Structure 1
Amino acid sequence: MDEEWWQCNLRELETVNKREETLSNMYANINKQSALPINRQVIELLLRAPNLYECARIVKGEKEQEQEQVVNLAIDVLRSCLQQLELDIQDAKLPELLSLPLTHSNPAVRSLVLGNLLKQLRSQREPKPLPSTELLLYVLDELQQPETQSSVIAIDILNLELTNWLTDSGVQSKLLQLLQRDEMVCCRVYELAVMLAKHSAASLSSVEFILDAALSELDNDDVLLMSSVMEILVPLAEQNHGLSYMERRRVLDIISSRVERIDENPLDALILPSIMKFFGKIAAVQPQKIIAGYPQMLACLFQLLESGDEAMLPTGLDTLANLTSTVQGKLLMHQHFQSAMEQLLRKYSTHLKNLSPPLKIRLLNSLDVIYTLEGMPSSELNTILLGWYECFAGGRQVNHIMELLHTPFPDLQLAALGLLKTLCQYPWGITAVQQTAGAIEFLLSRQQDLDKDVKYLKWQIMQLLSVSSEFTPTEIVRFTAYVNEGPLYQQTVVNIATEGQGSQ
């Protein structure tokens, strides 16, 4: 097909009742020639054709089914064009070529083009900067569109390319304009700034004017906005240079003071989960900073966890897990909050009986993190963890866990066995299993009705028991045989016919 044929068909699109047939012909011919791509000049002609984009426009009030068919065909034609064009990021004509689709009213069109642009950027063996800011400005404009899907793609593109242009006056002006828009747009810009700032201290410095705007949201009366901004800032707080920046801006002090004055503004209770998550994430990488520096935050966390408030517990459980996920975190929690930790773990045993199954699973997973260690524990840490376990279990047995293993919920069984496996990494944990009536029998049983993942975890626990010095040689032989048979072994039942059965 020569260029004249395509020109003729584009003119046909001006007639509304001819659009569906014309688009079908165009789509068929593009794909018919996919093995031998059509002329690049033709593709550029189509991408610049206003008539084609008019077909992709959604007009309210028209017959929906007929309109949808035409819109989908137009987008299919555009998709085929982009696939054959293979966007050249270094092409100076690219902004002009993509200007119509990137400013189109249909988010599906914008999303299609942005998706192809992101794909090309990610496929580069060596990242190359765009030749100008023109295309970036179109992508930045996407952040103020109401649709989420295309804005997410835009942020990913900007994360790859914007660093090279942050000192450009046009880019800075556009970012400042976006910060004057509504909360949704501002939060997208904050998210972009955090993604860029994570890379290095130099990158953070380039977007500091955006981050300062984000931090200003943390001391106002809009608790929902404050909650969203804290969620956005968490990845930056996990970086040393990001946390240093926040400390210079007294962010942790500002947030902590909101907690201390929570009785003065009951609405602040709505942001407690976000505050706990924020501090917990930081504590996972900077335990000394949070545990030793913000006792009021910890006191609030303990109070929240003991309350049994099912709306607040998930975040609280995850936060405590973050606080105690490292060796330093465990030692600091024991050093500064020994009594509170022991009291809370006793409360956990009550929670484990009364909470809904999903929250029991969350609690067990949190405990799993608390007791997990990489490598051998020091004698001090071993004593701390044993003391914590005894508070939770009310002794050294694993009765609490065994009760959960006899429930009809495979997910709950898996969480209970996961914790049991972690406990069996310690000699005192193996002893607790040994001293619990029915525990060894359950682990050795070959119940056919158990979930296969449950069987596998049982088998892994038996692997640990089979190399323990806590059992007799006879028991070790029995355990080793179980391990050698594998997790999914099925016992064969042999029926022996007695004389005379065959003639009945």
Structure 2
Amino acid sequence: MEENWWAVYLKDLESEGKRQDALTRLNAMINKQGNSLPPPVIERLLQSSTLYDCAVNEKEPLADLTIEFLGYCLEQLRLDTTDEQLPQVLQRGLTHSNPALRSLVLSSLLKELRRQSTTSEILQLPGNELLFYVLDELRQTETQCSATAISILTIVLSQRLNDADIQAKLVQLLQQNEIVRCRAYELGVMLAKHSAACLSSVEFILDAALSELDNDDVLLQASVMEILVPLAEQNHGLSYMERRRVFDLISSRVQRIEENPLDMLLIPSIMKFFGKIAAVQPQKIIAGYPQMITCLFDLLQSGDETVLPTAIDTLANLAGSVPGKTLLHVHFQPAMEQLMKKYSSYTKSASSSIKERVLSSLDVIYTLEAPPTGELSNILKQWYECFAGGQHINQIMELINTPFPDLQLAALSWLKTLCKYRWGILNVQRTGGAIEFLLSRQRDLHKDVKFLKWQIMEILSVSSDFTATETVRFTAYVNEGPYYIQSDMNVATEPQGNA
């Protein structure tokens, strides 16, 4: 199609009375043309000031039509990051006042960068202009585009981290309000994960983040701790945190809690911080900061439902890995046994949400990627026996028989995990009514409950701990599928009289 056709309707956009009709025709035509529009036409459309003027008022239907049309244009644009014209083509979209439009352009750019990263190395950018536009997004008041901008910068900014102009832009971000600063800290952490060299280049950002831990704003401190966690996933990041005595600093806050009672508000965030670090560095936290683990056990024993969710999730992080389980057994075995007894009481008397959380946490703790060693299986068996109190799986069955599907699912999910251990199967076998329930075909059960029951029977059907007759029944159940419905039809017969 001739470029003049597009030029006519772009011209119509200058008249407010013609905009609705013009945009409708533009959308219809670009849909009809598919991917056949020549690049010069696409670039002209994306640089049309009148087109972007139609998207200024977010609440008008016209803005939605405009964004829809620009989306089609971006789909046809080849986002070659080496193209020196690309910043000029995307500039109006990246600097527009409508966050939905900026989000569209940023998402298209991120999609292309991810495509490049899966097929080859990221292409070298021709200059800083495009980066400046994306960095400026972090200063916007809206939050919907910041995550996309950080993802883009995480991919491409490492190419130019030592550029003086880029460094100056990053310094400017650190001088903004706390929301913008936190975005800069998140970006700094994501870049630092790449390599020790990248960490060195953004160390001033990380140091600024650490300085916030002396801030009086509890919410800001909690946010910064959350942001810093991924830094420990790489050894060079962990080394930086140790050099800066991050763990000692945060740990001391707990030990001196009586000096500043307001720090009590930080305890859940501190526990979450240490728990998430322990998920990737269990030796460092469990063996190196025993006072933090002791504090966690105190929270878990407290019964305070305002802190229990975070504390329960933190224990799951601590005990989620094989080294974590082993270290907790070595250093905190009595505390773990007492806690399992407390968890048992929570599943009887706590609120439904805490019951579900406890069960989900236990499911995480007992889930293993590989078959357990004899030693690990025994550790987990000891913990379970403290929970069960010699009652096999009676307590789990009580939870399964509640009328609440979410609680049923959480209990069944943990039971399925327990059945991956021989001692777990034996506990099922020795619990009166458990096998009968699993084999039953109750019609009123939630479909996900039926599916979990079927998965458990799959495990039991290949176990050598049952008789041949039982195995036949289990196998038949499995072969029938999770949603099989038994027929209730009975054949009535009348007694024959004497002839």
SS in 1 for 2:368: coil
Deviation, 1:421, is 2.2
CA–CA distance in structure 2, aligned partners of residues 133 and 42 of structure 1: 26
* Structure 1 residues 57 and 462: CA distance shift in structure 2, 3 A: closer
Deviation, 1:209, is 1.6
* Structure 1 residues 33 and 374: CA distance shift in structure 2, 3 A: closer
Q: Greater shift after overlay, 122-131 or 75-84? A: 75-84
Aligned to 2:159: 164
* Structure 1 residues 466 and 171: CA distance shift in structure 2, 3 A: same
Q: Does structure 2 retain, via aligned residues, the 8 Å contact 1:111–1:149?
A: yes
1:97-496 matched pairs, under 5 angstroms? 97-124=89-116, 125-126=119-120, 127-496=122-491
Deviation, 1:436, is 1.9
CA–CA distance in structure 2, aligned partners of residues 415 and 442 of structure 1: 16
Spell out, residue by residue over 1:403-430, the C-alpha distance to the aligned partner (whole angstroms, 9 max, x if none). Answer: 0111112221122122222222333322
Q: Which amino acid aligns with 1:114?
A: L
CA–CA distance in structure 1, aligned partners of residues 82 and 252 of structure 2: 50
CA–CA distance in structure 2, aligned partners of residues 472 and 153 of structure 1: 58
CA–CA distance in structure 2, aligned partners of residues 82 and 443 of structure 1: 54
Q: Does structure 1 retain, via aligned residues, the 8 Å contact 2:232–2:281?
A: no
Q: Does structure 2 retain, via aligned residues, the 8 Å contact 1:219–1:254?
A: no
* Structure 1 residues 466 and 55: CA distance shift in structure 2, 3 A: closer
Q: Does structure 1 retain, via aligned residues, the 8 Å contact 2:232–2:280?
A: no
* Structure 1 residues 185 and 412: CA distance shift in structure 2, 3 A: same
CA–CA distance in structure 1, aligned partners of residues 139 and 468 of structure 2: 71
Q: Which amino acid aligns with 1:53?
A: Y
Unaligned runs of 5+ residues in structure 1 are none
Query: Once superposed, what is the RMSD of the aligned Cα atoms?
Result: 2.5
Q: Does structure 2 retain, via aligned residues, the 8 Å contact 1:87–1:117?
A: yes
Aligned to 1:46: 45
Deviation, 1:353, is 0.9
Spell out, residue by residue over 1:109-165, the C-alpha distance to the aligned partner (whole angstroms, 9 max, x if none). Answer: 222222222222223332212111111111110110112222222112111211101
* Structure 1 residues 85 and 435: CA distance shift in structure 2, 3 A: closer
Aligned length: 493
CA–CA distance in structure 1, aligned partners of residues 158 and 49 of structure 2: 33
SS in 2 for 1:462: helix
Using the size of structure 2 for normalisation, the TM-score is 0.91
Deviation, 1:376, is 4.4
Unaligned runs of 5+ residues in structure 2 are none
Deviation, 1:88, is 2.7
* Structure 1 residues 31 and 280: CA distance shift in structure 2, 3 A: same
State the identity %.
66
1:78 aligns with 2:70: yes
Q: Does structure 2 retain, via aligned residues, the 8 Å contact 1:166–1:172?
A: yes
* Structure 1 residues 22 and 309: CA distance shift in structure 2, 3 A: same
Spell out, residue by residue over 1:28-87, the C-alpha distance to the aligned partner (whole angstroms, 9 max, x if none). Answer: 4444544641x544443333333333332229xxxx6xxx13333433443343333333
1:69 aligns with 2:73: no
Using the size of structure 1 for normalisation, the TM-score is 0.90
Q: Does structure 1 retain, via aligned residues, the 8 Å contact 2:182–2:224?
A: yes
Spell out, residue by residue over 1:229-248, the C-alpha distance to the aligned partner (whole angstroms, 9 max, x if none). Answer: 11112222222222121111
Deviation, 1:494, is 4.0
CA–CA distance in structure 2, aligned partners of residues 250 and 236 of structure 1: 14
CA–CA distance in structure 2, aligned partners of residues 333 and 177 of structure 1: 45
CA–CA distance in structure 1, aligned partners of residues 178 and 449 of structure 2: 46
Deviation, 1:491, is 2.7
Q: Does structure 1 retain, via aligned residues, the 8 Å contact 2:189–2:228?
A: yes
Q: Does structure 1 retain, via aligned residues, the 8 Å contact 2:35–2:76?
A: no
Q: Greater shift after overlay, 364-373 or 479-488? A: 479-488
SS in 2 for 1:148: coil
Aligned to 1:58: 57
CA–CA distance in structure 2, aligned partners of residues 11 and 359 of structure 1: 62
CA–CA distance in structure 1, aligned partners of residues 4 and 460 of structure 2: 79
Q: Greater shift after overlay, 73-82 or 207-216? A: 73-82
CA–CA distance in structure 2, aligned partners of residues 77 and 470 of structure 1: 65
